[in-house]
A and B are shown apart, each in its own frame.
Chain A
Amino acid sequence: MKAQTEVLNRRCVEAAVMTGLALNCHINKKSLFDRKHYFYSDLPAGYQITQQRLPIAANGSLTYGVFMGNKQSRMATKTVRIRQIQLEQDSGKSLHDDLRSQTLIDLNRAGVGLLEVVLEPDLCCGEEAAAVIKELQLILQALGTSQANMAEGQLRVDANISVHHPGEPLGVRTEVKNLNSIRFLAKAIDHEIQRQINELESGGEILNETRSFDCKLGCTVPMRDKEGKQDYRFMPEPNLPPLVLYDSASLPAGTESQQVINIDQIRDALPELPSATRERLVRRYGMLPEHSFTLLNEVGLLQFFQNVMKETRAEPKKVTSWVLNTLLGYLKHHNLAVSESPVTSSALAELLDLLDSKAISSAAAKQVFEELWKGEAKSAAQVVSEKQLELMQDREALEQLCQSTMEGHPQVVTDMKSGNPRAINKLIGLVRKATLNRADPAEIKDILERLSS
């Protein structure tokens, strides 16, 4: 086995350019590599290659949505600036075994390429950070540059937090690591903000330190080994020349295409980003922005929605409502993912067709859904006939029923004629009962009003 110096993987550069473009960054046609020196057992070489002087991309932005208010009914759009994106090497992974006073080192990921995205301090709370990371995950997944699963370490987030009075400069920051999920990220940030405020208000001071989020305790604690400011002794990486990128105008003639990266080519091949997908949904189906966010945020929900749309005649607004309210409501209540839904998109499409053709009422449709949820492989039509939920199609029979109900309750009819709104509702209720709930209330009302005029 021979020793090798570092070699840059082409796919890493492409991924960096794609991510930079998706985040509206300026792509630096020339970027440089540096060594960052520090001693730690998971860094065998004693240094990490990174891009400290001149990273591959800089000065971008990420637009995200935050739900406003308690009921999460309104959406506000905010933007966070991207300071830079840099390529660097990963270190190994340490597992601390305090019992045996040792650290176990896994070097499988050491040297693998990483993309670090650095944001400007434009965020004010855990909720904003969570929304930003969620959007970043969706973007990376759409690009195919990362699955961005935090629990599996595919996306790692470190938060830098400080507090200050309005109008004053930024306060001393702490860095919080060990954030394994979006939920913990938001919790840790809000906790740390409060901790800093409490500390300062009681006359203490904030140390520029690294802290770890302890999910069991629900708070941040100082990390050992990371006390004091580090001196990384940055120096240019001697083994890697500058990384030069081209666009269609500057592409050198006669060079091997494997060795050349064309920014314009990458830009043209970018897939649809989440923000564009959401805009398309709002435009095409007339749904609210909030709905488009929910459809994208829930894994598999957009695909489910699109499958139903393909198979049903029902209006998009109806489909949206049933998918986001009914289906999602049931899924959340039973803590299931979309992929685990006992009601398939075909079943829901069939149900919505029955509703659309007025074969069943809204109330009946809800009952059918509940029955379908049991997952007994019955179709919507089967459930309807088994439970006799079909709407009465015989208009004449319905009219007769209304007539006889009115004759049976003359006092209520008088009240109705004198304008009492509760009277007509009572009559509607009586007729519905008589039809065993197989008549549409709106139609009954229609007939009653006509008969009484």
Chain B
Amino acid sequence: MSARALWLAFRSGLGGRQAFSTKVNLQGSGRITVEVIEHLERLALVDFGSREAVARLEKAIAFADRLREVDTDGVEPMESVLEDRCLYLRSDNVAEGNCAEELLQNSRQVVEEYFVAPPGNISLPKLGEQESFQHS
């Protein structure tokens, strides 16, 4: 397998192409700050409620960082693992549908043919204010 570089979703901006707009700045020591945790929690709706979770995160980043050791000079970045495959195009025919009733049964609460959701996005309380969540 030839050496290829993978773009990680949370790689900090290294200059050059700014294809991804995530701006998570990593400290050189590998410690994750409170601001970073808050930001990640809002983006991914993941709860980093415990010190162990944060430590696990730091270890995961350190593991992935080893990719930086690969020499990618003069190597074209890969777009995806599928980049040499053919994109299948389906013809514009209706093959299925008319299953509204069946799909609506997936939801606990429906109104006529609408799914019911809470009003808009519920904002998370700030890290300092929240009670500790229970991990499910």
Q: Which A residues form the contact surface with B (CB < 8 A)?
A: 1, 7-11, 13, 32, 37, 39-42, 52-53, 94-98, 101-107, 224-225, 231-244, 258-259, 261
Contact = CB atoms under 8 A, between A and B. Distances in A.
Contacts of B22: 231, 233
B136 interface: no
A236 B84 CA distance: 14
Given A231-B43, A233-B43, A106 B114 contact: yes
Contact of B9 (A32, A96, A233): A233
B74 interface: no
Interface string B59-95: 0000000000000000000011111111111111000
25 contacts: A9-B91, A10-B89, A10-B91, A11-B91, A32-B79, A39-B121, A41-B118, A103-B120, A104-B111, A104-B115, A106-B114, A107-B103, A225-B121, A231-B23, A232-B21, A233-B20, A233-B22, A234-B20, A234-B21, A235-B9, A236-B79, A237-B80, A238-B80, A243-B87, A258-B91
Given A95-B114, A103-B119, A240 B82 contact: yes
Contacts of A13: 89
Nearest to A31: B87
Nearest to B120: A225
B88 A8 contact: yes
Contacts of A105: 114-117
Given A1-B102, A53-B19, A259-B89, A224 B115 contact: no
Q: What DSSP secondary structure best describes chain A's contact surface? A: loop
Complex A-B, nearest 5 residue pairs according to Cβ-Cβ distance, in ascending order: A41-B117, A104-B114, A11-B92, A241-B82, A10-B89
Contacts of B10: 233
Contacts of B80: 32, 236-238, 241-242
A107 B79 contact: no
Contacts of B111: 104
Contacts, number: 114
A103 B116 contact: yes
Interface size class of B (residues with CB under 8 A): 35 or more
A429 to B, nearest CB: 69
Contacts of A104: 111, 114-117
Contacts of B23: 231
B113 interface: yes
B14 interface: no
A13 B92 CA distance: 11
Interface string B1-41: 00000010110000000011111000000000000000100
Contacts of A52: 19
Contacts of B99: 1
B29 to A, nearest CB: 24
Contacts of B20: 233-235
A139 B100 CA distance: 35
